[in-house]
Amino acid sequence: MISHQYRNLLFDFGNVIIDIDVPGTIDRLKALTNKDSAEKVFDEALLKYETGKINTDIFINTLLSQCGPKVQALDIIEAWNSMLIGIPDYRLEMLAMLRPRYNLYLLSNTNELHIEWITRYLKKKFNILDFEKQYFDGVYYSHLVKDRKPNPSIYQHIMTDASLTPSLTLFMDDVQVNLDSASQLGFGTHLVTAQEDIAEYLKSEGFY
């Protein structure tokens, strides 16, 4: 068991805490577009949106520019938010049990539309009004920090802001390149695969 060596747990959000469907969302967005340039335009817009360089209106309008005349902003928003599936209640219970024992942090490449959806979802399903404060000691959303994984600078920002010692911090993510970047700075890392649930992993390793 490895739990005894860590004091801080740093979680990715998508496919770690919240279940998401990236391929399905890409397919739904592609179905709305009618230009060969759509994928490149979308990738560039998303990068800017996730790092807070453009706002939601510009992001939506950029995607609309690649769509047919019948596609409306609501169609884009619904397709984009369809990525978010939900959070199993046992993962919230996991966070609640971990919090007294460890410092918990959340790091996510995300955006305003998705966080607004998650806020509404948590209120409606669990009556949770203060998710970030209730479950975490610090939350780092890329569009607010204006930086994103796997840039080393976002991990350095967290180290400074939260006074984290990397060797005492376990970072859990579902993307290997994000873990590699953190590992080079001294973080402990764990790749969360589709075949493994983070709650099961942390329990099996004696974290709670």
> Which residues constitute the domain of residue 167?
3-18+87-204
What band does 37 get if pLDDT is binned at 50, 70 and 90? Answer: confident
13 has pLDDT over 70? yes
CA atoms within 13 Å, Cβ hemisphere of 90: 7
Pair (100, 48) in one structural domain: no
Residue 36 has pLDDT above 80, yes or no: yes
Regarding beta strands 84-86 and 19-20, do their DSSP bridges make them parallel or antiparallel, or are they unpaired?
antiparallel
How confident is the model at residue 146, as a pLDDT?
Answer: 98
Cβ neighbourhood burial of 208 (10 Å; 0-12, 13-18, 19+): middle
Contacts of 19 (CB under 8 A, 6+ apart): 85, 86, 87, 88
Same domain flag for 200 and 99: yes
Question: Do 102 and 141 fall within a single domain?
Answer: yes
Do 131 and 167 fall into the same domain? yes
Is the predicted pLDDT of residue 88 greater than 80, yes or no?
Answer: yes
Average pLDDT along the chain? 96
pLDDT at 1 over 80: no
In the chain, pLDDT over 90 holds for what percent of residues?
A: 94
Query: Could you tell me if 69 and 127 lie in one domain?
Result: no
41 and 59 both lie in a single domain: yes
Same domain, 118 and 153: yes
Domain boundary among 81, 106, 125: 81
Indicate the number of domains in the chain.
2
**Co-location of 151 and 182 in the same domain:** yes
The answer on 110 and 60 residing in a single domain is: no
Q: Which helix (H) or strand (E) holds 113?
A: helix 112-126
Q: What is the pTM of this model?
A: 0.95
Strand partners, 19: 86
